[in-house]
């Protein structure tokens, strides 16, 4: 069965600090996709990144970076120089290709609060 | 519009009544998904459509829940004989893909907040 674990329920940082959100997943598939979504207080989920299981290169997009390590089944998300607008709930998700095609499993989310 | 839309945005109903939630996906998106998000929790997969068919209904919580999609576009999630435990935000998402397996990015609607009294 597929499972996504976001062990950090809540994180609070002060503006300009760096913060890493952890994501650990379980899957029997060899082909899968991993996602991160942001859910601001307005409630609408916003796509941040998709990574396929064959591409372990780290990715950087502005202040956001992602570290994918298959050996530890982790897909961690780092925000550099955090800002108040980064305050939101962040979800990590997994989509399998073969055994549960079409079904996405989400973690319980990490609530990030960035204080000025 | 350009994004996924859902209606109503809020629905308050009495226990035992039936409700219908509607989702309009992004034009041209062939895949459509329904999720439930209880207060303070993550997303719970309910069902997804590939075109008008639903290959995987395993996420539906009970036989009181059903969903359909017509014309490869609009989808309706119906909850019969609502219970208080059904209170949640129901999110719809759509994605565009050509293969059986859905691996494309899902774009989410704003959700319908259902409150069962």
Band of pLDDT at residue B100, cut at 50, 70 and 90:
very low
Residues A66-99 have pLDDT tens digits of 999 999 999 999 999 999 999 999 999 998 776 5
- B53: Cβ–Cβ under 8 A, 6 or more apart, which residues? none
Q: How far, in Å, CA of B116 to CA of B68, rounded?
A: 22
C-alpha radius of gyration, chain B, whole number: 13
pLDDT at position A98: 60
Q: What's the rounded Cα separation, in Å, for the pair B109 and B26?
A: 9
Chain A residues in contact with B43 (beta carbon < 8 A): 91, 93, 104, 106
Read off the pLDDT of residues B42-95 as tens digits, 9 standing for 90 and up: 888 899 888 888 877 878 999 999 999 988 899 999 999 999 999 999 999 988
Contacts of B105 in chain A (CB under 8 A): 35, 47, 50
Note the pLDDT of residue B99: 47
Contacts A93 to B, Cβ<8 Å: 43
Is the Cβ–Cβ distance between A88 and A13 less than 8 Å? Answer: no
A33 and A52 Cβ atoms separated by less than 8 Å: yes
Q: Among A44, A47, A91, whose Cβ lies nearest the Cβ of B110?
A: A44
Per-residue model confidence as pLDDT tens digits over B102-113: 456 788 999 999
Residue of B nearest to A32 (CA): B103
d(CA B47, CA B56): 6
Query: For residue B53, is the peptide bond before it cis, meaning its omega torsion is within 30 degrees of 0?
Result: no
> Is the minimum CB–CB distance between B51 and chain A shorter than 8 Å?
no
| Interface test mutation site (partner A, options B102, B107, B111, max chain A beta carbons within 10 A) | B102
Cβ separation B101–A35 shorter than 8 A: no
Model confidence over A20-76: pLDDT tens digits? Answer: 999 999 998 888 889 999 999 888 888 898 888 888 888 888 999 999 999 999 999
pLDDT at res. B104: 63
Residue A34 CA to residue A25 CA, distance in Å, equals 9
């Amino acid at each position: 069965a597929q499972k996504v674990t976001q062990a950090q329920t809540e994180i609070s940082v002060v503006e300009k600090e760096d913060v890493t959100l952890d994501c650990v997943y379980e899957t029997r598939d060899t082909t899968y996709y991993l996602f991160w979504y942001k859910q601001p207080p307005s409630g609408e989920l916003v796509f941040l990144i998709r990574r396929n299981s064959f591409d372990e290169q780290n990715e950087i997009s502005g202040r956001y970076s992602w570290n994918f390590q298959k050996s530890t089944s982790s897909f961690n998300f780092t925000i550099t120089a955090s800002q108040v607008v980064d305050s939101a709930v962040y979800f990590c998700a997994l989509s399998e290709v073969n055994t549960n095609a079409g079904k996405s499993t989400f973690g319980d989310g990490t609530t990030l609060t960035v204080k000025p | 519009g350009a994004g996924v839309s859902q209606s109503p945005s809020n629905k308050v109903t009495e226990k035992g009544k039936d409700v219908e939630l509607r989702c309009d996906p992004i034009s041209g998106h062939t895949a459509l998904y329904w999720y439930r998000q209880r207060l303070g929790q993550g997303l719970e997969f309910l069902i997804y459509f590939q075109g008008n068919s639903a290959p995987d209904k395993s996420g539906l919580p009970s036989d009181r829940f059903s969903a359909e999609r017509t014309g490869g576009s609009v989808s309706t999630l119906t909850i019969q004989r609502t219970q208080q435990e059904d209170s949640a935000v129901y999110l719809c998402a759509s994605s565009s893909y050509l293969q059986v397996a859905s691996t494309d990015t899902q774009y989410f609607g704003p959700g319908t907040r259902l409150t069962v009294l």
